[in-house]
Amino acid sequence: MKVSLFITCISDAVYPKIGEAMARLLARYGVVLDFPRVQTCCGQPAFNSGYWNEARESAKTILEAFEDSDFVISPAGSCIGMIHHYPKLFENDPMMLMKAEKLQKKSYEFTQFLVHVLGVTDVGASFPHKVTYHPSCHGSRLLGIKEEPMALMRNVKGMELVPLPFAEDCCGFGGTFAIKMSDISGAMVTEKSDHVLETEAEVLVGLDMACLMNIGGNLRYRNKPVRVMHLAELLYEGVK
């Protein structure tokens, strides 16, 4: 099967090690990732800002990039979530709508693919640290990703997983929301960071680097020594 990596903008430009961790973890199960270089932004910033014509242009590039893929996987639930909006973008174009629906059905966030496609819930990782988990909005609400990361984390040897108070509250990033409503966004991420600190965890883990970047930036600004990681990074570090 042809499994393609949709790396997403933030992971590609700021956190490339997440893609490396995903590739190395999946290689342990015989999955060699394909990487179409033509891929670009999923179009979410334009879509959320009301610029649907511009979002369609990005979507067309993504549809072309992954047209021949059997599976498309990404480290970000928000970007896979945007693919779920593609049918709406092309509802008046039957041919593009068919392509959009096809891509939607074969696109997975990383933990979804690991658990539901490969049937893996234990990668054999060991991570002797106190960890708390932030469930990102798009992944948990739009894609329904809830049990998959928990199943993977419960099987990490030596790890103490502590509940995050008010875990489902938004971190305040929200893409362009953080720019348009910066004061509200700042208040939201400060509150989220306060809850992270309440857990006394050494590590904050999540599935979407936009959220983790926002929370991590707030924690660094306040000189709080909490390590922020994508779950793929944690699992890969645990098996190295």
pLDDT of 93 over the 90 cut: yes
Q: 49 CB contacts (<8 Å, ≥6 apart)?
A: 176
- The per-residue pLDDT for range 6-59, each reduced to its tens digit, is 999 999 999 999 999 999 999 999 999 999 999 999 999 999 999 999 999 999
DSSP 157: B
CATH number for the domain running over 130-239: 3.40.50
CA distance 232 to 229: 8
The secondary element (H helix, E strand) that includes residue 64 is helix 52-65
Q: Give the tens place of pLDDT for each residue, 158-177.
A: 999 999 999 999 999 988 88
| Per-residue model confidence (pLDDT) at position 240 | 87
Mean pLDDT confidence for 65-77:
96
Query: Quick one: average pLDDT of 169-187?
Result: 91
Phi and psi dihedrals of 14, rounded to 5?
-115, -35
Looking at the chain, the domain(s) classified CATH 3.40.50 span: 130-239
pLDDT digits (tens, 9 = 90+) for 132-145: 999 999 899 889 99
Does residue 219 register a pLDDT over 90?
Answer: yes
Is the pLDDT assigned to residue 178 strictly greater than 90? no
